[in-house]
Amino acid sequence: MTPTATIPFQPVPERPQPALGERGWLLECRCARPVTDLLHAQGWDVVTDLDCNVHCSSPDRRVYVGFLPESREAARGELWHIHVTDKDGATAWHQTFGPDTPAQAVAGFLATLIAFPTRYCTCV
């Protein structure tokens, strides 16, 4: 086993927030760009295959994120796939998001995952 360097979390630049009643809630983004931009900035590998599916791997190779619009899973309503593995390579947990989930929401989920790199919760 070789140690790997980690890249510190780089938060997305703040944008001025509109008043609550004037918000345009996330409704429309169905591309991968908000997620791939975030992950690429964090040092993740981002690869697009010939079918236009996007595959992302964390620097330690323990987290996989797939944007799979041209897969059988997408036909079943699973557009985004996130898999986290233990150090031994066994699946620790996974999460999927459907095509109605805005990419910014998936990016927010991943930003939180990246921001809390420790395995343990403080309530344990």
pLDDT tens for the chain, 124 residues long, are 444 555 666 666 666 666 666 666 666 677 899 999 999 999 999 999 999 999 999 999 999 999 999 999 999 999 999 999 998 999 999 999 999 899 999 999 999 999 987 767 777 6
Q: 66: which 2 tokens? A: 């797939």
Sheet architecture: strand order including 91-97: 45-48, 54-57, 63-67, 80-85, 91-97
Angle, nearest 10°, between helix axes 103-115 and 33-41?
20
pTM, rounded to two decimals: 0.77
